[in-house]
Amino acid sequence: MELTGSQILIECFKEQGVDTVFGYPGGAILNVYDELYKHSDEIRHILTSHEQGASHAADGYARATGKVGVCLATSGPGATNLVTGIATAYMDSVPMVAITCNVGKGLLGRDSFQEVDISGITMPITKHNFIIKDAEALAPALRKAFAIARSGRPGPVLVDITKNATADKAEYEYRKPEEPKRVTDTIKEEDIEKALEMIQKAERPFIFVGGGSVISGASEAVNAFAHKVHAPVCDSLMGKGAFNGTDPLYTGMLGMHGTKASNFGVAHCDLLITLGARFSDRVTGDTNRFAKKAKILQIDIDPAEINKNVLVNGSVIGDVKSVLDILNEKLPELKHDAWVEEVEALKNQYPLKFDDDRLTGPYVVEELYRVTKGDAVITTEVGQNQMWAAQYYKYKEPRTFLTSGGLGTMGYGLGASIGAKIGRPDKTVVNVAGDGCFRMNMNEIATAARYNVPIIELVLNNHVLGMVRQWQTLYYGERYSATVLNDQVDFVKLAEAMGAVGIRVTKKDEVAPAIEKAISLGRPVVLECVIDSDDKVFPMMSPGAPLEETFDADDLKK
């Protein structure tokens, strides 16, 4: 049948199972929005306060559900406002399709009103992108876009459509999308045999779980593997929840703000088994001194990650779940009692701790964990709030901790929490934020209020840019250049002005009742917890230092 380009776009959305899109209209994309209006009973459109909020919401929706997130924007500044969100998704391998509309084909390349080469701008931060100038090319490109976004190592794809292509007509015929196939053809028998040999020879193995384990749906396989190998387990920021954070074998996060048990354990293991992690500099510190006593076995879907940051002794390229299924079938039950007890002693010797005499970020996160029984979806901003949420909330399941790991995007979490709550309405969704990050995209509280999306924006307000201030304290002689936010912004009044509920907490005994109230209201809530400006995230490893030099507040006093 013959349809306009805009109608084809909507039909392709329906083909791909899209039920929600996030966006902001404008002149070049008006034809698409006119068609969305006619299909509002089939596809829900969430009008965000800013295009960046739309991209983060699509990202949060994708991470929480495992589906492809979709965001829309018009030409020029509308399209460029998506760039930060696209880059965030790219760095963390999030499946997302960004639809932008451009000026008409005849106006391209003439510096026309609101014209920008968004395809050129986003080329380095997308898996692929398309420029569609004719309606006939639209359906094939959209189908490819969704397939590319969700296949292999996922990521964002941009489709830029000229306005004439949204209005012109072309033939359309329904096609059922192909289910994405797991990458298994790269799994070589000799690599599996070497991996098995390395694992069985090890006396002090340590397992490092990364975001690829979440993406591949490998959680059950990871848990089975850890117990079969009988090895302690640490994770990256992106890997949280792939291994049960309440399991006795779990030692906490690895890296700059990882636990001493994880950092010291990896420094002294003889085999580091890495499952879907890319050895970020925030994890390794000095790569020349990273896990020097260990052989390294890396399992990853992306061959480009092998030997990129850290040289490894063995690797298996392929879908993490598929590889672990093979290894779990072939491995005998192993025992490493002395090693597991040694790492358990490290956990007991170096527990996470904070000043319990006053209201602090860690105390708030621990209370959040207790009240929600560890069953909430937690999104975060970036900085101290992010690290405390990673350290003090125990993640038992994958897709329950959503954070900007690779790009470190301040302002990510609020939009992501809206997308996550829409994707997982059965879950309590809390965005753990700092006051600096909240200022970045606080306008999305109005979005949550407009649609009555009952997210909780938990603001740890220390009136400073906390993580930057921490570095200024430790490395810049306490010169607090442009990091003090001690002004007159009232977050409670701000929340109320936007149609949400505002609650302020200044004492420890107020925290749990405030969280319980926020959950019970069934409305968007801004819960402000006022903490000290000089609270710090510990443990910490200085940039470029080895894991063995991780320090905490007690070490600084000494």
Distance of CA 252 to the CA centre of its chain: 18
Residue 316 pairs with which residues in a beta bridge?
Answer: 299
Q: Is 51 a catalytic residue?
A: yes
Query: Could you tell me if 462 and 443 are in contact, meaning their C-beta atoms sit under 8 angstroms apart?
Result: no
- What is the C-alpha separation between 175 and 166, in angstroms, rounded? 20
Determine the residue type at 258: G
Q: Is 114 a catalytic residue?
A: yes
- What is the C-alpha separation between 148 and 412, in angstroms, rounded? 24
Nearest to 436 by CA among 486, 400, 398: 486
Strand, helix or coil for residue 554: helix
User: Which among 96, 410, 442, 467 is annotated as catalytic?
Assistant: 467
Distance in Å from the first CA to the final CA of the chain: 77
Nearest to 284 by CA among 263, 312, 305: 263
User: Which among 16, 52, 130, 163 is annotated as catalytic?
Assistant: 163
Strand, helix or coil for residue 34: helix
Q: Is 536 a catalytic residue?
A: no
User: Which among 38, 42, 113, 349 is annotated as catalytic?
Assistant: 113
- Would you state the torsion angle of the CA atoms of residues 71, 74, 80, 85, taken in this order, to the nearest 10 degrees? -10
User: Which among 51, 305, 366, 457 is annotated as catalytic?
Assistant: 51
- What is the C-alpha separation between 68 and 119, in angstroms, rounded? 20
C-alpha count within 13 angstroms, C-beta hemisphere, residue 545: 14
- What is the C-alpha separation between 195 and 298, in angstroms, rounded? 9
Q: Is 181 a catalytic residue?
A: no
Q: Which residue intervals of 168-239 are DSSP H helices?
A: 189-201, 211-215, 219-229
Q: Which residue intervals of 393-434 are DSSP H helices?
A: 412-423
In the chain, % helix, strand, coil (3-state, to 5) comes to 45, 20, 40
Kindly report the backbone phi and psi dihedral angles of residue 469, in degrees, each rounded to the nearest multiple of 5, phi listed first: -60, -40
Distances (CA, A) of 197 to 184, 233, 329: 21, 20, 14
Residues, the chain: 558
Which of the 8 DSSP states describes residue 136? G
- What is the C-alpha separation between 118 and 109, in angstroms, rounded? 12
Strand, helix or coil for residue 489: coil
- What is the C-alpha separation between 45 and 422, in angstroms, rounded? 11
Nearest to 263 by CA among 339, 347, 348: 347
Tokens of 439: 């200022």
Tell me which residues are annotated as active site.
51, 113-114, 163, 467
